[in-house]
Structure 1
């Protein structure tokens, strides 16, 4: 796709390098944390002078961001059990909320004038909310547009049906200069099954996984521990219950566990877990949410976790022995990732389709953790070039904008 371009120079006469990252964030922490990692890399490397993250996450304000990175909080929505969505804003229905979100996106981009827009996962945005701004940017031609995809989206047939329903293929063909897959093609191709043109596939780049580091250090326990994390926690109750049952049934199970519930595991469910944790006499300690969880990853003896993208990147980055207990509903994304990672020797997958998800199985998995090989022993270091490749691709795209503007 070729854009005509115009330039808006700053007082020095140089074109400003600004990036907007959009993540719809209707559930969990994954989209926000991925966008934060990308924004941090782009600004700290000097590829971009500043970045703004557009996010619907209700916990965005609880994260720290680098000095050159800010965020705009879009009105929140929640997914209901039947798959539909409801507004979290009092007195507004979902159509009104979507329109408000879309307007905020348009006004932010119009005022900020980014050189690069990176869209996370959803080519048309939540309920099509990005389409107005995508049309505007395509018409004006001053902003490069990238679609960023995690390593696994869903089963190919399910994904193809979803993209057809949302008009995502047409949007990808029409609006996006490049597609970045934050993974390695030999591990998994998330676009398989999608009817993308040869032209789109020619501008698709596999970056590698996004390496994580300790950005904001936090204190960790002095004694050995394993880390238990269900990610955002909204769908992690079953895994946490199984973990607690393991420590309850086997009083010799060691080392002790540090459990991070995630911000979305709350209410009566969490209250019940808290009572059980207290009864274990310190063998399990728990906290609701830790925005600096990287330190806990780095110092743990091993990790029991669900199989989200960000958690997987942290396992590889901190070279952690891990047992993944992937969710299988509403999509098979985590199971596909965990199954493929186990085939490569990177983790152990506690697979409900193959293994019995019972207390005995969890006890055995914890006891076997010290004997697992670390991801580095299976070549994980060669998978973690994502941020470096993103910086280079972003620099190339924005340099094209500068060159075209100068002509």
Structure 2
């Protein structure tokens, strides 16, 4: 088949280390690419996650690694053991061989080089191989709208250098009317010619679920959501018993914590609290709810905005994390959410916030661009023309 007429092949690399937000956003984009007619290989390197990636995607897994701690300071294998040089070399070689075998038209690295510096051992070699390949694939960075604040000097300069030397596009998955790259990346002006805003990568507007709850609590992947889930259970015990709660605790919540939640729910009125691990129809459940309580991760916020329900945000802030707090502050300023700091979170404080939120009117439809998955798919599909065939 003539290369100019065949569907483009996109190799999409994503590494989740602690939560599942990166994987969820990449999965939405990859699914939109398949719907657009592209051939997609989604390469992941984290622990398995229930429901991700969805069916219908070609999915290749690298030997999994996870964060060795909340501060993303090191890498561990699936059993939590620190990885050694031989492990990392095997991963690198597997990724490079996959690239050579698949011969993609477009390569996408999720977060890198703005984040995921721990993966330089395999991504820097990948960038060099891409540069030496003819025809050269188009190289793109897939980036959320708000970045983690930098604390080490020189990091932003390194990022700019990699972008200018290797990358053709930086796809910022946000609406500039809400947050611009320069708000969280001080040297954005130096790469402005490569930046394209795609809109927020939200799910399609859902039909409300037949399962109707007053309050839906979601703890993301669950790895860092235990305090929120336990506080929500304590708040349910304080609030009127006729309110129906659904606590979605995530696949990575510790088994012991989940057992405590199940035991406490069983002691309450029938139907008052439902405990779930994962809901594939999460957006639809939110659309039928009166109130969402969650951390302030990118994907959950997109779900909340699309559903149009009231929202309480408890941003994850451990280990110096700033991104979720910045997002929650912006949404509170727009009147779209109530911010409740993670510090000193308790059932009493959460119950009081719930009572205030439920008494407020439901938000009016948002004007933010929530069509980022389809727009990103269109951009990537049409980038083949940029290939260097020299």
Q: Separation in 2 of the partners of 1:26 and 1:12?
A: 36
Task: Work out which of the residue numbers 190, 194, 211 in structure 2 matches 1:203.
Answer: 194
Q: For each residue in 1:44-80, what CA deviation from the matched residue of structure 2 results, as whole angstroms up to 9, or x when unmatched?
A: 123x2x211111232246436353x211112222223
How far off its partner does 1:163 sit?
Answer: 4.8
How far off its partner does 1:244 sit?
Answer: 1.0
Q: Give SS of 1:286's match.
A: strand
Structure 1 pair 249/136, CA: closer, same or farther in 2 (3 Å)? same
Unaligned runs of 5+ in 1: 1-9
TM-score (norm 1): 0.84
Quick check: 1:149–1:180 contact (8 Å CA) kept in 2?
yes
Task: Work out which of the residue numbers 77, 86, 96 in structure 2 matches 1:96.
Answer: 86
Q: Separation in 1 of the partners of 2:352 and 2:16?
A: 35
Partner of 2:222: 233
Quick check: 1:182–1:207 contact (8 Å CA) kept in 2?
yes
How far off its partner does 1:256 sit?
Answer: 1.0
Q: How many residues align?
A: 382
Partner of 1:3: none
Pairing 1:134–2:127 present: yes
Task: Work out which of the residue numbers 376, 381, 390 in structure 2 matches 1:395.
Answer: 381
Q: Separation in 2 of the partners of 1:159 and 1:190?
A: 19
Moved more, 88-97 or 293-302: 88-97
Q: Separation in 2 of the partners of 1:278 and 1:367?
A: 23
Moved more, 128-137 or 80-89: 80-89
How far off its partner does 1:333 sit?
Answer: 1.0
Quick check: 1:40–1:66 contact (8 Å CA) kept in 2?
no
Q: For each residue in 1:20-61, what CA deviation from the matched residue of structure 2 results, as whole angstroms up to 9, or x when unmatched?
A: 111111111111111110011112123x2x211111232246
Partner of 1:34: 25
Superposed counterparts of 1:170-209, under 5 Å: 170-192=161-183, 194=185, 196=187, 198=189, 200-209=191-200
How far off its partner does 1:168 sit?
Answer: 3.2
Quick check: 1:160–1:193 contact (8 Å CA) kept in 2?
no
Pairing 1:86–2:76 present: yes
How far off its partner does 1:191 sit?
Answer: 4.5
Q: Separation in 1 of the partners of 2:44 and 2:253?
A: 20
Structure 1 pair 179/325, CA: closer, same or farther in 2 (3 Å)? same
How far off its partner does 1:339 sit?
Answer: 0.7
Task: Work out which of the residue numbers 297, 318, 326 in structure 2 matches 1:336.
Answer: 326
Q: For each residue in 1:321-341, what CA deviation from the matched residue of structure 2 results, as whole angstroms up to 9, or x when unmatched?
A: 111111111211111100111
Partner of 2:13: 22
Superposed counterparts of 1:129-168, under 5 Å: 129-140=122-133, 141-155=135-149, 157-158=150-151, 162-163=155-156, 167-168=158-159
TM-score (norm 2): 0.88
Quick check: 1:253–1:367 contact (8 Å CA) kept in 2?
no
Superposed counterparts of 1:274-289, under 5 Å: 274-281=262-269, 282-289=271-278
Pairing 1:383–2:372 present: no
Superposed counterparts of 1:220-369, under 5 Å: 220-221=210-211, 223-250=212-239, 252-281=240-269, 282-330=271-319, 331-352=321-342, 357-369=345-357
Unaligned runs of 5+ in 2: none
Structure 1 pair 53/277, CA: closer, same or farther in 2 (3 Å)? same
Quick check: 2:332–2:339 contact (8 Å CA) kept in 1?
yes
